[in-house]
Chain A
Amino acid sequence: MDAHAAHDIRSHVKTYYMIFGALMLLTCITVAVSYFHLPIPMAITVALIVATIKGSLVALFFMHLSDERKLIYYVLALTVVFFIFMMFVPLLTVSDKIPGTTVGTIW
């Protein structure tokens, strides 16, 4: 390995430790926010936003997605489309509430 490539990796190593610190901080924030006993819709929103930030940091830096070939982006974009579709399937049940009950509401 040439000296230039080794220097590049060393700068990556610094980034990895910074990302580690950020992930720890965000984990603490996730737990701390849960003690505020926010209303459920707000709690779900905050928890998922923090988890998405953490997941993005892992994917972008540890999985090197920030500097990857286009083909992988295309594969992941297609996956995201199907993922979102799958997440919204349960919403179809909202139109199928049982009269006189709370069944069919998420909270």
Chain B
Amino acid sequence: MEIPYTVEVRPDTGLSNGKLGVWLFLASEVMLFAALFSSYILLRVGSVEWPHGSQELSVPLAFFNTVVLISSSVTMVMAWASLKMNDFGKFRMFLGATILLALTFLVVKFFEYEHHLVAGEGPWHNTFYAIYFTITGLHGLHIVGGIIVNSYLWGPGAKMWQTEKERFTNRIEIAGLYWHFVDLVWIFLFPVLYLL
């Protein structure tokens, strides 16, 4: 049985099923991170004292990672635009760059985590580190998820371009929506955890 409305839009929603699906998923993701941001506020309000993020965490590393993630958002949208312009070679280059930038983000995060864990500043150290590891850890898992999906679309999944160009372009747009959301979450995490 063929999956309906992968390319053409549904008359009642005006959207392809995949696109509506990913937006509903992102809405649930907003609430997931909202719960953690809300917990952060509650913990901060309930603490007698709260450390300044820049005294505990590395601002230069987080700044570098912010630049990396924003760059990856641009390469992701450029991958989609390349398919729209029928340039598969450029698509491969831009999506490959997105994956490499995502891996760079994780490597930097690994060194950040390692530094704190070696210094005994794990999630058990205090409430600040508990919420820091919880939120950035969950965000990191989202990065891993994005890398898996994007790698599939860069590799074996790209075969679809040969047979169903529009459907494949829609898949890249949907993967892009998820990836931009992951970038958007970091845009708020960076000042909240590192600079305030």
Q: Which residues of A contact B (CB under 8 A)?
A: 1, 5-6, 9-10, 12-13, 16-17, 19-20, 23-24, 27, 30-31, 34, 40, 43-44, 47-48, 50-51, 54-55, 58-59, 62-63, 69-72, 75-76, 78-79, 82-83, 86-87, 89-90, 93-94, 101-106
Q: What are some 27 contacts across the A-B interface (CB < 8 A)?
A: A6-B86, A9-B81, A13-B81, A20-B70, A30-B191, A30-B195, A31-B59, A34-B54, A34-B59, A34-B191, A47-B191, A47-B196, A51-B191, A55-B188, A58-B73, A58-B184, A69-B13, A69-B15, A71-B20, A76-B27, A79-B27, A86-B35, A86-B37, A87-B34, A93-B42, A106-B41, A106-B45
Residues of chain B contacted by A10 (CB below 8 angstroms): 85
Residues of chain B contacted by A104 (CB below 8 angstroms): 45-46
Residues of chain B contacted by A82 (CB below 8 angstroms): 31, 34
Leading 7 A-B pairs by shortest Cβ distance: A47-B191, A90-B42, A34-B195, A90-B41, A79-B27, A86-B34, A69-B14
A51 to B71, CA, bound (A): 16
Chain B residues within 8 Å of chain A by Cβ, number: 49
**B45 & A93 in contact (Cβ 8 Å cutoff):** yes
A50 to B191, CA, bound (A): 9
